[in-house]
Amino acid sequence: MLFRAAAQSPTARLTLTLSATPASADPLPPSGAPAPAARVLKLEAALSLLSQSGHDLPVGEPGSAAWLQGLIDALCELSSRDALTGLANRRHFEMVLAREIDRVARAGEPALLLLLDIDHFKRVNDSHGHAAGDLVLKAVAEALLECVRPMDTVARIGGEEFAIVLPNCSPAFGPMVAERVRTKVERRPVLIGLTEKISVTVSLGGAFAPQWVRSNVRLWLERADLQLYSAKASGRNRSIFEPAVVSMVTAEEKGLLFSTSQFDDPSDESRDSHA
């Protein structure tokens, strides 16, 4: 496929000179005087990036509007993907998250953000090598994709950290998805050599976008990350969700709120100094 596409787009076209007339009419200028610099597109880097990443090259007559659109689309696609796993990368993920926040604010649909992290991934790299680590990352990515709906976005957002954005996901459904992901990964040994298999587990943290409220990406990530941290801290290979409503005031909080030690404490004044 790659070779055929390359044959259709000879290397002579890697530098494309645009004429004043529509590109589709006559993509190549008459030979002779060099075109002004501003009209010359150097496409070599873009095309070799695409072919090196195994991407199909744009179809159609090189230089035509359709061909250029195809090239731009392919570059957009490339810049939104994680090179190793093919999942959405962090850039694309944050865009999806922002879009989802907007939708939740407008329509009030519940949306879930799941953050997950491979447990003890450093051990895999240390004892089996980075190539094995890469195989594990790919296997986890595949497992995640098998657990979600087409409308969900699965992303690799850090070394061994992944995220899933689930639009229109009811609160009851969230923990089910998380458990499905967790068990799917746990029950899928990864072949890292001719015969050697290793198993990994993941920890998950989940937080729903506050309905009707215009939140932001940083805050939503922070809330899900906090739950992921709890899942790690409480023993890994588990999923923890943010409690639905945080309006409850615990006895401990009340105890501190009404502790008399702070009353009439002159040191309070320092805290108010900026007010």
Partner 1 sequence: MSETFTHRTPRARITAVTSGKGGVGKTFVSANLAAALAKRGERVLVLDADLGLANLDVVLNLYPKITLHDVFTGKNRLEDAIVPVAGGFSVLLAGSGMVEYSRLTPEVRDQLLATVEAVTPQFDRVLLDTGAGISDVVLYTISLAHEVLVVTTPEPTAMTDAYATIKVLATTQGRRSLQLVVNQVLKPGEGRTIRAQLQQVIDRYVSPSLEAPVTLDYLGDVPVDPAVREAVQRRELLLEVYPGTPAAQAILALAARIAARIAA
In the complex, minimum distance from the CB of residue 166 to partner 1, in angstroms, rounded to a whole number = 19
**CA separation (Å) from 100 to 29, 176, 207, 241?**
46, 21, 13, 19
Strand pairing partners for 74?
none
CA-derived radius of gyration, the chain: 26
Select from 182, 172, 169, 164 the least CA-distant residue to 244: 172
Integer Cα distance of 95 and 101 in angstroms: 10
| 131 vs 219 by CB, closer to partner 1 | 219
Which residues of this protein are in contact with partner 1, per CB under 8 A? 98, 107-108, 210-219, 222-223, 226, 245-250, 252-254, 256-259, 262-265, 268-269, 271-272, 275
In the complex, minimum distance from the CB of residue 174 to partner 1, in angstroms, rounded to a whole number = 17
In the complex, minimum distance from the CB of residue 25 to partner 1, in angstroms, rounded to a whole number = 43
Indicate which residue of 61, 100, 146, 160 is catalytic: 160
| 187 vs 271 by CB, closer to partner 1 | 271
User: For this structure, is 186 an active site residue?
Assistant: no
| 30 vs 269 by CB, closer to partner 1 | 269
Which tokens is 89 given? 């990368």
In the complex, minimum distance from the CB of residue 209 to partner 1, in angstroms, rounded to a whole number = 10
Residue whose entry in the numeric block shows the structure tokens 């404490």: 265
Integer Cα distance of 156 and 89 in angstroms: 5
| 58 vs 167 by CB, closer to partner 1 | 167
Give catalytic residues, as residue numbers: 160
